[in-house]
Amino acid sequence: MTTLPAVPLTLEGASVLHQMMRVRWTAWKSLAPAQQEAALDEAAAILRTMTGGMDQTAVYSLIGHKGDLMFLHFRKTFEELNQAELALARLRLAEFLEPTTSYLSMVELGLYESTLKLYASLAERGIEPHSAEWNQEIETQLARQRQAMAQRLWPAIPDRKYICFYPMDRRRGESVNWYQVPMAERQRMMHEHGMVGRRYADDVKQIITGSIGFDDWEWGVDLFAEDPLVFKKLIYEMRFDEVSAAFALFGTFYVGLRVEPGHLPALLKT
């Protein structure tokens, strides 16, 4: 038998786009109140239509200098994400919004434990990695997993007051390299990492998205909660487990408050 693959299986679901915007306040304030009201009414009306079934868009008021608004889109495909992005760009309000950054990814569930079990089972049966039979067995297993985990693959945007979003990488090529660690060791570390998160499950809803090949970082993390203090406590505690302490790199953090479309006028009207 050849060496077993080092890559764990994953399941992919909803396509996700984060758009961070800064309001061009000087230009916005120069509009007459009636013009502001018309632009805000149009934006609120369009945003209300951008939620239904798997089409979901949420708006957040960002805290700090990194932007004023964040639009979070969950869609079935990248094509539908593109349509959501264009729908916002066509708004009168868009003339007064300056993009600061964006992040493209899709919901990802890692299957370390089941991957190890499946690879071991296939090896015991003498099935050669990447052969037609191997690939068929893998796809059969993934199909079962997709059905069992459909709710996690296609989640609703949690209706929580606060959001914390950040991208992250696993270290590769510095003093340590995550991608050269044996899979069983990676599975052990990820299990321990996940056990920390489970202790916060009642207070924080977490959605992990994969972005390798889509954006500059490897994963995106969205945390949703009613109390922002839990973000600090959870992330701080996770820094002490092995996978984070030795292998994690973190990008820019964004924290915001959920804004319903009908409340945009109260937020932006001057």
Neighbours of 137 (CB within 10 A): 17
Q: Is residue 156 part of a domain?
A: no
Query: In the chain, what is the greatest distance between 2 CA atoms, to the nearest angstrom?
Result: 75
What local confidence, expressed as pLDDT, does residue 270 receive? Answer: 80
CATH of the domain at 18: 3.30.70.1030
Distance CA 209, CA 31 (A): 39
Its domain, for residue 87, covers 13-107
Q: What are the φ and ψ backbone dihedral angles of 221, each rounded to 5 degrees?
A: -125, 125
Question: Hey, what are 243's tokens?
Answer: 């996978």
Number of domains forming the structure of the chain? 1
Q: Is residue 119 part of a domain?
A: no
Q: Is residue 102 part of a domain?
A: yes
Neighbours of 49 (CB within 10 A): 11
DSSP string covering 40-62: HHHHHHHHHHT-BTTBEEEEEEE
Q: Is residue 1 part of a domain?
A: no
To the query of whether residue 103 is one of the catalytic residues in this protein, the response is no
Distance spanning both ends of the chain, measured CA to CA: 70
What local confidence, expressed as pLDDT, does residue 173 receive? Answer: 82
Q: Is residue 207 part of a domain?
A: no
Distance CA 101, CA 262 (A): 25
Total-model pTM: 0.95
Q: Is residue 117 part of a domain?
A: no
Catalytic residue among 162, 166, 200, 254: 166
Q: Is residue 84 part of a domain?
A: yes
Question: Hey, what are 27's tokens?
Answer: 């230009």
Give every residue of the chain whose pLDDT is below 70, as ranges.
Answer: 1-2
Report yes or no: 209 and 165 within 8 Å, Cβ to Cβ: no
Q: Is residue 225 part of a domain?
A: no
Distance CA 235, CA 37 (A): 40
Q: How far is CA 95 from the centre of its chain?
A: 27
What local confidence, expressed as pLDDT, does residue 2 receive? Answer: 57
